[in-house]
Amino acid sequence: MLNRRSLLKAGTAAGVLAAVPAGLVIAAQPRQATEPTRPFTVPLRVPRPLRPVRLADHDLYRLTTREADVAILPGTTSRVRTFNGALSPLIVARRGRPVVIEQANALDVPFSMHLHGGHVPAHSDGHPDNEVAPGRSRLFHYPNTQLASTMWVHDHSHHAHAENIYRGAAATYVLTDPAEDRLPLPKGQYDVTLQLRDAKIEENGTLVYDLHGFQDRPTFLVNGSPRPYFEVAARKYRFRLVNTSNERAFVLRLGEGEEFTHIATDGGLLPAPVPSRILQVWPAERQEIVVDFSKYPVGSKVVLQTMMTFPGEAPEVLRFDVVRSAADPSSVPGRLRPAPDLGTPTVERQFAMSFDPASQQHLINGRPFDVNRVDFRPRLGTTESWTIENKDTAFTIPHSMHPHLEHFRVVERNGKPAGPSEAGLKDTVTVMPGESARILIRFTDYTGMFMFHCHLMGHLTMGMMGQMEMVR
């Protein structure tokens, strides 16, 4: 059971982060012998896009959720949960061309597939009422009418979601469009998806799951590989970072603090690129950056590390090995994509997020999740202003807010305008203890029941979720 000591451990790193301004540099903890493998001994797996069946009016993918023995640590295998037997698979879709996924569930637990960041009808959003029982299958329809962005697919069943995600069932879903194609950003083999997560893996390969073991997952995986190396050319690369951890935040620094360019968040491209030296990627968030390796001589080794760790953890996440020169026609333009006008809000809502030690539940507005309760009913075509407050000052626990169906804009942090790194569209916002964020969200197209919740999966499992029913 989660207790005060566990919560304080969870809050230690988060509390440090909350106290440091945007240009933070947090000293990483010294390495201890807490992992069964050394860093940079295995290459990065770069997933190739899955190949669909191309039909007249949509692309069809067949995904089977099943267990598989996969090589993660060198010399052994780990039993994990996968789509089609692979970790970190990739779907690349096109705006205006729908995708249908036929999911067959070969696990012994339910699975309700959710396209995180997807603007999809309620019957395909992954509501717990639509979970696929073991041995059954179901079709999920994704219209792909939204702007280009990086999304991901994961479970949203009522009870198995946290463990299904932790054990590996997470796919990256990249939506492209012609407007983004016309930009001179890195493309093809120089556009790389990176799924980040943490895990606890024994020397024999056993993947250990404990809902409350977030402070004891010392192995960082990138596309399913433990602290890998990636051979790159001396030119620009676009990296799509997807945090599929249950609770882990990554606060990333390149090398000794070298500059890179932040270009996109959850909902796609920012209005303008943001030169950065530190990048926060919280659970379920996507952040995209361009790194120019031409400033490093061939033979250089550049380490990406996280500056927020628990005691005993090594900070290294991934090493880039610059192995060759290459021509580079790409560039990062000064303008990327205008932020959409979501309109003037006509409804205001308040969300207080807190932990109740008496009931051992995480709460939104003092209430835990109840599948039989509708918390509110937004009207389609209406813009709303949501103020999200993190009331957990005693335990210093971060919380996040992820509403299904729509992206939003973060307009304020603690009553002040949000910074340029949050000027685009988001679907998950993290709020530190004692702080607040205000977002604008406009609901369109689809009626029905949708979820909103914290995306720290332990918090969601312990009650921090609600339901909103879209009405006309």
Give the span between the Cα atoms of 243 and 187, in whole angstroms: 22
| Structural domains of the chain ordered from first start | 4-40+184-325 (2.60.40.420), 53-181 (2.60.40.420), 347-470 (2.60.40.420)
Q: What is the mean pLDDT of residues 23-43?
A: 61
CA–CA gap between residue 36 and residue 74 (Å, rounded) = 10
Greatest Cα pair distance, the chain, in angstroms, is 61
**pLDDT tens digits for range 253-300:** 999 999 999 999 999 999 999 999 999 999 999 999 999 999 999 999
DSSP-based three-state secondary structure for 329: coil
pLDDT the model gives residue 31: 46
Ranking 5-14, 134-143, 163-172, 302-311 by mean pLDDT, the lowest is: 5-14
pLDDT per position as a tens digit, 149-187: 999 999 999 889 999 999 999 999 999 999 999 999 999
- The residue that leads in pLDDT, 199 or 158, is 199
Give percent of the chain with pLDDT exceeding 90.
89
Q: In whole angstroms, give the CA distance from residue 241 to residue 192.
A: 9
Which residues does 423 contact at the CB level (< 8 Å), separation at least 6?
Answer: 270, 271, 272, 339, 409
pTM of the model: 0.94
Report how far Cα 167 is from the mean position of its chain's Cα atoms: 15
